[in-house]
Amino acid sequence: MSRINENIRHLRKEIGWTQQGLADQIGIKRSLVGAYEEGRAEPSADKLIRFSEAFNVSVDSLITKDLRIETSDDKPFKVLSITVDNEDKENIELVQQKAAAGYMNGYADADFVSALPRFQLPFLPTNATYRAFEISGDSMLPIPSGTIIIGKYVENLSELKNGNTYVLVTKKEGVVFKRVFNYIEDRNKLYLTSDNKFFSPFEIEPQDVLEIWSATAYISLEFPDPHEKPDINIENLLSAVSGLKDDIQKLKEKD
């Protein structure tokens, strides 16, 4: 049984597009989107491919799966909103510090995302989606506050690599830039650490994560201070995470 019409309507609303907004993304008339959603017509093969690219789902999922009820602990993120230039190349949207709080609510809103500053970096691989985040604070020195981190979109939690740096958009902590250690299988937790040893590591639940972006490059108007050399040895970070886990376990035993 085809679920195309239900899935198109559901995914469009999840992203926050109007029928006209989706029509503009696909390059078709709004009335045709309405016909697809109401089941009065079905997209041709080439239009199905355009829908799958716009929604970031496979054609097979679009046709056969009920995406309204499908859930996965491994893939808790919303459909990603993007913008493109006049040549249909994806932009890199910039989330400045002043927009970080709003981004937590508007990250899936196509109108919000389209209003963000955007730019292109031609040297980045074109087989991924990127977003830029202006970080604040000294927790990741020698990368200073105000640096722009270019992140590559991470679709599944299983793709996380322990000790690598990521920008996480979370419900409780906001937008943070940290090293991440994945202990979901053991404790249903992600452990976040800073490169600045004066900042303590902390944990979050995977359900708290809205988006994850793997740090790929950065832009800064300041050169790193050669005297600022926090200890970022991975073994030390693992030791700190292990200590945090032990402390948490002791607190649980007291309850």
- Per-residue pLDDT tens digits for 179-221: 999 988 788 889 999 999 899 999 998 888 889 999 999 999 8
pLDDT of residue 126: 83
77, pLDDT greater than 50: no
pLDDT of residue 72: 42
pLDDT of residue 222: 80
Domains 4-64 and 92-254 are alike in CATH topology? no
pLDDT of residue 100: 92
The structural domains of the chain, with segments of one domain joined by +, span 4-64, 92-254
Query: What does pTM read for this prediction?
Result: 0.62
Domain 92-254 carries which CATH code?
A: 2.10.109.10
Residue 38 to residue 81: CA distance in whole angstroms = 23
172, pLDDT greater than 60: yes
Residue 240 to residue 243: CA distance in whole angstroms = 5
Residue 150 to residue 167: CA distance in whole angstroms = 9
Let me know how long the chain is: 255
Instruction: List, for residues 87-139, the tens digit of each pLDDT value.
Output: 878 999 999 999 998 998 888 788 899 999 999 998 898 888 999 999 999 99
pLDDT of residue 76: 43
Residue 219 to residue 236: CA distance in whole angstroms = 27
Distances (CA, A) of 249 to 200, 210, 237, 243: 17, 26, 18, 10
What share of the chain in percent tops pLDDT 90?
42
Q: How many other β-carbons are positioned within 10 Å of the β-carbon of residue 86?
A: 5
Mean pLDDT of the chain: 83
**Fold topology of 4-64:** 434 Repressor (Amino-terminal Domain) (1.10.260)
pLDDT of residue 73: 42
